[in-house]
Amino acid sequence: MLLIIVFGLLGLGIVVFVHELGHFLIAKAVHIEVEAFAIGMGPKLAGVVHGGTEYRINALPIGGYCRMKGEHEFKQAIDQRLPSFPYSEGSLFSVSPFKRILTYLAGPAFNVLFAIVLFALVWSIGYEYQTFSNKIIIGSDYPSVYGVSEQISPAEAAGLSTGDQIISIDERPVAHFSDLQEILIGRSGDTIPIEFIHEGRTVRSEISPELNKKTGAGVIGIAAWIDPVIDTIPDDSLLLSSELARETGSSRSMIDRSPMRSICSPICRATAVTAAIPSLSNATAAALRSRYRWSIRARASRSSMQDSHHSRSEHRTTPR
């Protein structure tokens, strides 16, 4: 939480600095004198005077300001309801209204330009984020994980089954689970076309996402397919590890200590060793079940029922 606050204040400081820099540069360009340019609020920590302008760093990093000549006199005249205030060369009100408008608009204009530059920079460099594949499971198939719903989910009504791959929805391609989430986010209550692969066949249907009242997004009662992982093998299983290495082709050190990928259904029981590693012989699997306790990590979060935004180790990178 503290780190979030620190980064938030840092981001706010950058945004304010760019905003006030816009006012400052245009004011100088149209010959308006700038009395002070400050980063932060409150007491002054450090400062220097150059070219008639005091440049300051203040104690509280929650803003900043660009004080132009004539602003104080104008505010004072309004507060005291004076009919006029003194004219002085180089003040904000010694220039034409058009130049004053440019000076005031420069702040938000610089913020917009700064955002465009940042967006272009990030897009040109590229970035990575984690997502799931387009293979899905039906939440109601695993009630112990996702709970039991009395109603048929939109995915079931559309004919989807666990293990299917959604290839398009609303006529938009779906290559990853995040694509599906982006499409559904504002489509609750609508009936939209969906195309998926079921048992090797391409099926076209229609689906009506439901509204998730907590997030406001459309959901269809699915979660991402996530392969489980055999996390650890007990230290006293070294003899059996050599048999596993021989049958699976894995290195002994990897089997002894390292996590192992497996190919199985999204939810595995600790006793279902033959499902977790199909390449094991029946005898070896039986030995595992009778002699050792295996730790199976399914990596299927309970919260992913609502089209979870959790991540797995599959990366997408924007075009560079």
Q: 174 with 168: CB under 8 angstroms?
A: yes
CB 316 within 8 A of CB 128: yes
Q: Is 243 known to be catalytic?
A: no
Compute CA distances 252 → 22, 71, 190, 310, whole Å. 64, 77, 54, 32
> What backbone phi and psi angles, to 5 degrees, belong to 269?
-85, 155
Location of structure tokens 């040109």: 124
Q: Which residue in 20, 35, 73, 195 is the catalytic one?
A: 20
SS3 for 226? coil
**Closest listed residue to residue 178, CA positions, set 133, 227, 138, 212:** 133
Residue with tokens 């969906």: 194
In angstroms, the Cα distances linking 225 to 125, 172, 279 are: 31, 20, 21
Query: Are 229 and 261 within 8 A, CB to CB?
Result: yes
Phi, psi of 97, rounded to the nearest 5 degrees: -55, -35
Strand partners, 297: 229
Beta strand residue intervals within the chain, DSSP E:
34-50, 53-68, 128-130, 136-138, 165-169, 172-173, 192-198, 201-207, 210-211, 218-219, 222-224, 229-232, 260-261, 295-297, 315-317
How far, in Å, CA of 255 to CA of 266, rounded? Answer: 22
Which one-letter DSSP state was computed for residue 305? G
Question: Which residue numbers are catalytic?
Answer: 20
